[in-house]
Structure 1
Amino acid sequence: MASLQKQAHDLFLTGVRAADPTIAVRNALIKRPLTRAPEGTLFLIAFGKAACAMMEEALRHIPTGQRHDALTGVGSGWGRNHTLRAYEPKFSSDREEC
Structure 2
Amino acid sequence: MAATAFVRARIDETVKDEAAAVLAELGLTVSDVVRMTLTRVAKDHALPFELKVPNAETRAAIEASRATMKARRARFTDAQELFDALDQEARQQ
Q: TM-score range by the shorter chain?
A: under 0.3
Larger Rg: 2
Q: Which has the higher strand share?
A: 1
Normalising by the residue count of structure 1, what TM-score does the alignment of the two structures yield?
0.21
Normalising by the residue count of structure 2, what TM-score does the alignment of the two structures yield?
0.22
Q: Which has the higher helix share?
A: 2
